[in-house]
Chain A
Amino acid sequence: MDSEQGTATGLVRVVLPYHLRVLAGVSTEAGSEVRLEVALPVTIGRVLDALEGKYPVLGGTIREYGTGQRRAFLRFFACEEDWSHEGMDKELPEAVAAGKEPLLVVGAIAGG
């Protein structure tokens, strides 16, 4: 869990909605994940920092520029719980930080 620089990190699994997997150019197979080195303690904000660092095209698509807030029609789920309203700085469950469970970014059921 430690990087070469000695900073503690977790290998976090993230499941993106289909349209963002297409945009990022990653596998579009159902359930496919991206894996990210995230500094501990793992928070949604840090996961998104790492995600946008690895895939800059996702900048602004999950959280708003300026406010840094979650876009209204996206949700965050982890360990079968809704983390959408927990803020960007709350520590995610150990199972997510340890890579045992993924962080799910889910498109809300909306639109036409």
Chain B
Amino acid sequence: MSKVRVLVGTKKGAFVLESDGKRAAWEVNGPFFAGWEIYHMKGSPVNPERLYASQSSGWSGQVMQRSDDGGKTWAVVGNKFAYDGVPGTHQWYDGTPHPWEFKRVWHLEPSLTDADTVFAGVEDAALFKSTDGGATWAELSGLRGHGVGTDTHAPQWQPGAGGMCLHTIIVDPTNADRMYIAISAAGAFRTDDGGKNWKPINKGLVSDIMPNPTAEVGHCVHHVAMHPARPDTLFMQKHWHVMRSDNAGDEWKKVSGNLPTDFGFVIDIHAHEPETIYVAPIKSDSEHFPLEGKLRVYRSKTGGNEWEELGNGLPDRNCYVNVLRDAMAVDKLDACGVYFGTTGGQVYASADAGESWKAIVHDLPAVLSVEVQTL
């Protein structure tokens, strides 16, 4: 029988949850790296026992960890993230130029074809790559304008409230040279040549919090998802608005439809139904908790616009948690499992594509990220 492993990064350590394919009983292992912030953990699709973890703290900065036995044991790997060449400047909160300064790794994306290759999205926003299992890292600096192609306007990027983080990395499974990344608050970008050159892909996004709501960069994109069977279709949860593109990000259209609020952080896609998508609506940009204290997931089986409320097993009242941008994932079992973590320390799971939910663990530190491996 298949197994499921859920990798949970929290404000105070990492946890590895495991269950058989029934997903009824869960073993909780951890905390690993207790006391440290674990922004993200992810396993290699090539070798699922190979895991990468980003460990950081305000006291001691960034540490990178790697496991070769599915998270039972870990070893420290390289933590030197040096920007390529002169770091340059981006916009600070007050609009003045501010030098690029490395702070932490937000997201790790292992290669689809090589277990030793992994991408890291960092704050201040940049994309790094390791081809030796995390021992050394090199910046793909074309993203920040060091390329010779389309201008990415990096000096105009500015941090969102959580920092200027590169939080989404998507590798096209049908075209190794095509990747997507997203940055708060700069927007989404695409490369078609393996990371040498990048271009902004934000046409159709409208952000009223910007002086020019349709500017080429500056949008606060919270998360982007792609189904591997539809590599040209992308779904985005922006600061406000749920968006969709069917041409690899060249143009976006709003698909918020009947959502009660289209603010939120996470978005993900059913493992077997490329038009079935999930979001966790949050009240507003100033009130980061569910509407009316009711924690809800919304599902669209039509690729957006028509949404249904999913709440069976989720709190109906007095719930004021948030669901952060990397804290939702799906498994690949026949009955697709959907998982999300909250800032209240719960990890909710649905073994029936969202019809019903239960907390598979409920008193962890605030959850920063959730990834799922189907073994």
The residue in chain A whose Cβ has the minimal distance to the Cβ of B81 is: A65
- Check B58 against A19 for contact (C-beta < 8 Å): no
Asked if B60 is at the interface (CB within 8 A of a chain A CB), the reply is yes
Given contacts A19-B35, A19-B36, contact A108 B79 (CB under 8 A): no
In the bound complex, how far is the Cα of B79 from the Cα of A101, in angstroms? 31
Asked if B375 is at the interface (CB within 8 A of a chain A CB), the reply is no
A74 / chain B contacts, CB cutoff of 8 Å? 59-60
B60 / chain A contacts, CB cutoff of 8 Å? 19-20, 23, 61-62, 71, 74
Asked if A95 is at the interface (CB within 8 A of a chain B CB), the reply is no
A22 / chain B contacts, CB cutoff of 8 Å? 34
In the complex, number of A-B residue pairs with CB atoms less than 8 Å apart: 45
Given contacts A19-B35, A23-B63, A57-B63, contact A111 B80 (CB under 8 A): no
Asked if A73 is at the interface (CB within 8 A of a chain B CB), the reply is yes
B25 / chain A contacts, CB cutoff of 8 Å? none
Asked if A41 is at the interface (CB within 8 A of a chain B CB), the reply is no
In the bound complex, how far is the Cα of B157 from the Cα of A90, in angstroms? 40
B61 / chain A contacts, CB cutoff of 8 Å? 60-61, 64, 71
Bin the interface of chain A by size.
Answer: 20 to 34
Given contacts A19-B35, A19-B36, contact A107 B80 (CB under 8 A): no
Asked if B210 is at the interface (CB within 8 A of a chain A CB), the reply is no
Interface string of A45-77 (1 = CB under 8 A from B): 000000000000101111011100001011000
Q: Which of B56-88 contact A (CB under 8 A)?
A: 57-63, 76, 79-82
Q: Which of B13-66 contact A (CB under 8 A)?
A: 34-36, 57-63
In the bound complex, how far is the Cα of B101 from the Cα of A75, in angstroms? 21
Shortest C-beta distance, A25 to chain B (Å), equals 9
Q: Which of A71-87 contact B (CB under 8 A)?
A: 71, 73-74
Shortest C-beta distance, A74 to chain B (Å), equals 6
Given contacts A19-B36, A65-B80, A65-B82, contact A60 B59 (CB under 8 A): no
A30 / chain B contacts, CB cutoff of 8 Å? none
Shortest C-beta distance, A73 to chain B (Å), equals 5
- Check A23 against B76 for contact (C-beta < 8 Å): yes
In the bound complex, how far is the Cα of B80 from the Cα of A73, in angstroms? 19
The residue in chain A whose Cβ has the minimal distance to the Cβ of B62 is: A60
- Check A111 against B58 for contact (C-beta < 8 Å): yes
Select which of B34, B35, B36, B79 is within 8 A of A60 by beta carbon: B79
**What 8 A-B pairs come out closest when comparing CB atoms?**
A61-B60, A57-B76, A73-B59, A107-B59, A60-B79, A111-B58, A65-B80, A19-B35
Q: A59-B80, A73-B58, A107-B59 are in contact. List 12 more A-B contacts (CB 8 A).
A: A18-B35, A19-B36, A19-B59, A57-B63, A59-B79, A60-B79, A61-B63, A62-B60, A65-B80, A66-B82, A71-B59, A111-B58
Q: 20 A-B contacts, Cβ less than 8 Å apart?
A: A17-B59, A19-B36, A19-B60, A57-B63, A57-B76, A59-B79, A59-B80, A60-B79, A61-B60, A61-B61, A64-B61, A65-B79, A65-B80, A65-B82, A71-B60, A71-B61, A73-B58, A73-B59, A110-B58, A111-B57
